[in-house]
Structure formats: C-alpha cells, structure tokens
C-alpha cells in the first residue's frame, strides 16, 4: 500500500470508536486545539496532557463532522471533549496511541513526498544571469 492509499482506507475501528481518515481538516483541528502531539511538539508532555490530547484527537476523528466544525468555530470543543472522555475506555488508549503513531508516520511521509523539488537554474547556461 502506498502512503497516499493509506489516507483513503475509510474509517478505522479503534476499540469502540470509528475514526475518520486523517485529513488536512484534521491537521487544522489539531492546531486549533493545541494538540502538540500531532504537530511535532509533543516531546515533553505529562501523562495527563498526553491522555487529554489522545482523547481530543479521538473526538475530532470520530464525532460527527458537523459537530466538530461547529464546536471549533464556537470555541466549545473542550466541553464536547470533556463529555466524550466518558465514552473512551481505558483499554482503548493503547490502540489509539498505535493509530496515532501510524497516522503520524504516514503524515510525515506524505509531507516529505510533496515537498517542492524545484531545480535551480545552472548559472553557466547561456542567457542566464
């Protein structure tokens, strides 16, 4: 399976949750919620903060899309996430972490694949300055 194909797998079952494929919208939601774990800045998180971010990510990826969009727009996502925590089983955390690691690796590979590969003109070519 290519890196691109992995983003089109469809929903993924993780514990009792069904997660949507990760998208540009997912990355935007992660930025809006300050989920450093998904933005490459999650090295020194406390256990509590790590859990909060994992649960917030699971909510973003599994709650109805219209609800996620409205909550992000209205600034009420934290309230939804606090309620959503009661739907996440402790046994699901490891499976969520594995899925997050898989997504992170695929996202990193996809970003690397799309980096511009512009060539610089050879200064020795005639007519070039």
Q: Distance between CA atoms of 72 and 12, rounded to whole angstroms?
A: 23
User: Pick from 78, 87, 118, 103: which is nearest to 21 by CA?
Assistant: 103
User: Pick from 113, 124, 104: which is nearest to 39 by CA?
Assistant: 104
Backbone φ and ψ of 52, nearest 5°:
-60, -45
**What pLDDT does 3 receive?**
42
Over the stretch 25-37, which tens digit does the pLDDT of each residue have?
998 999 999 988 7
**What pLDDT does 45 receive?**
83
pTM of the model: 0.74
Report angle CA 47, 51, 53 to the nearest 5 degrees: 120
* Positions of the chain with pLDDT lower than 50, given as ranges: 1-6, 113-115, 129
User: Pick from 63, 58, 66: which is nearest to 95 by CA?
Assistant: 58
Q: Name, in order, each residue with C-beta under 8 angstroms of 127's C-beta and a sequence gap of 6 or more.
A: none
**What pLDDT does 106 receive?**
75
| Structure-token pair, residue 75 | 């600034």
**What pLDDT does 109 receive?**
58
């Amino acid at each position: 399976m290519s890196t691109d194909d992995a983003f089109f797998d469809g929903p993924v079952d993780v514990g009792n949750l069904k997660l949507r494929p990760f998208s540009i919208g997912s990355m935007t939601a992660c930025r809006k919620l300050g989920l450093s774990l998904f933005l490459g800045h999650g090295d020194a998180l406390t256990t509590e903060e790590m859990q909060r971010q994992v649960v917030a990510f699971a909510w973003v990826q599994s709650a109805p899309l219209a609800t996620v969009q409205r909550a992000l727009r209205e600034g009420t996502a934290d309230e939804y996430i606090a309620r959503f925590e009661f739907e996440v089983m402790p046994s699901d955390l490891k499976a969520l972490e594995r899925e997050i690691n898989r997504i992170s690796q695929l996202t990193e590979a996809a970003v690397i694949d799309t980096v511009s590969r512009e060539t610089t003109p050879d200064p020795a070519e005639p007519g070039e300055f």
